[in-house]
Amino acid sequence: MIPRYSTPEMTAVFDDIGRFSRWLEVELLATEGQASIGVVPEADASVCRARAPRIDAAFVDRVLEREQVTDHDVAAFVDVLQDAVGAPEGAWIHYGLTSTDVVDTALAWMLRDATDLMLKASDEFVRTLRRLALDHRDTVMIGRTHGVHAEPTTFGAKVALWCLQADRDRTRLQQARANIAVCKLSGAVGTYSNIEPAVEAFVGSAIGLRPVPATQVLARDRHAEFLWACASVAATVELVAVELRHLQRTEVREVQEGFRAGQKGSSAMPHKRNPISAETLSGLARVVRSNLMAGLQDVALWHERDISHSSVERVILPDSAQLAYYMLRRCTRLLAGLQVFPEQMLSNLWSSHGLVFSQPVLLALVQSGMTRDDAYRVVQENAMRAWDDHRDFRGLLDADGRISVSAAVLDEAFDLTRSLRNIGTTFDALDAID
């Protein structure tokens, strides 16, 4: 992932130093696990731990240099590690293991920790949405369907629905974490032919991963589920971002992204304040979503393993984790600094001449005894006249002799309080989440 969209803490999970550090720990724990069942001498396992090299840039360089000879990254790593430990004890490193035992266990460990970072960011995202929803519970605005004025709602109700969706994303992340926090050290085709299950259990217990049956590789549906959780997060952030982009348009201007002192919206036009965060988030969602498709294609491997998934995962797993985490944090900052313009929201609501109350008028006419189709045609005709001629919808209804309901009935139909009287049902759902 390019530095622009990376964070130090997520980078540390996936970079070469972080990856090789986990490989090292898996190798050392496996050696100690072998010692615990009497395969490796206890003293030799202790020496391996004591002489284990520090994983730093110099170590990474040695492994990469060795890989030019082995053309195999794990074999190169093991060669450098055994050389650092020295003979004869170093010969026990990687004893009974196949490379994927180390790689898949370490990768699952990385993905678990990456998910923990995303869950922390998700918690803050949900809290921020919840606060914004409650702050604007009664901030009246027009609801839009197909981009056209529909009926009144509140900005808080809109945000509350985002919050509930973000909470479902958090549940998906938790489930993905449970299914990726696993390990396998069962050998070439997963039959424990050269390593005992007790070693796998020893390693898993030490690093908090659950041993599961596998072939030479962990089943890739687990990784696809992780990618789905990332893509779901990205889709929710995109939902928020697209809505805010629409609401910030000059013709609407119901919200606006925060604008820092010294910030420039355009190199050419000094008046511009563009929704750059929301647009960036919309774009990044496309990347995360596309990675999910590649992850699903990684599920079907040949027989007990092939490496067609490996090259793909080196890109899509860290990138999806980085981007989902980045998007959660950036969208949280965007919402925390969002400017909301309640007066403009009301102005926009009334700009369509009261047409947004057409449905309660229709229902009032039906209740008075008109057929639904007749009532619909009467209301529609007046609505079109109001829009085309810039006339007040209520005034046209009052002057229409076909309408026999009282002024009080029409008053109720045009009452914002009536339209929003049950909005609390949406907010009741927020009480169930933290």
The residues that are catalytic are 146, 266
Q: CA 397, 398, 402, 404: dihedral to nearest 10 degrees? A: 120
The answer to whether 142 and 348 have CB atoms below 8 angstroms apart is: yes
Please tell me whether residue 197 adopts helix, strand or coil conformation.
Answer: helix
Inter-axis angle of helices 16-36 and 73-85, to 10 degrees?
A: 60
Nearest-angstrom CA–CA distance, 327 and 332:
8
DSSP 345-380: HHHHHHTTTTGGGHHHHHHHHHHTT--HHHHHHHHH
Nearest-angstrom CA–CA distance, 304 and 392:
72
Nearest-angstrom CA–CA distance, 180 and 220:
10
Residue 51 CA, chain-centre distance (Å), reads 41
Nearest-angstrom CA–CA distance, 198 and 209:
14
The answer to whether 328 and 122 have CB atoms below 8 angstroms apart is: yes
Return the structure tokens found at 431. 């009480």
Provide the 8-state DSSP code for 211.
E
Question: Considering only CA atoms, which of 35, 255, 93, 263 is closest in space to residue 162?
Answer: 255
CA distances from 276 to 157, 273, 279, 321 (A): 25, 8, 5, 22
Which long-range contacts does 417-420 make (Cβ < 8 Å, 24+ apart)? 418/360, 419/151, 419/152, 419/357, 419/360, 420/138, 420/140, 420/152, 420/153, 420/154
Return the structure tokens found at 45. 């396992």
Nearest-angstrom CA–CA distance, 428 and 134:
11
Cα torsion angle, 427, 131, 8, 3, sign:
positive
Return the structure tokens found at 354. 């009261």
Question: Considering only CA atoms, which of 244, 232, 254, 250 is closest in space to residue 279?
Answer: 244
Q: How many CB atoms lie within 10 A of CB 374?
A: 13
Nearest-angstrom CA–CA distance, 58 and 61:
5
Nearest-angstrom CA–CA distance, 29 and 434:
38
Inter-axis angle of helices 73-85 and 99-135, to 10 degrees?
A: 110
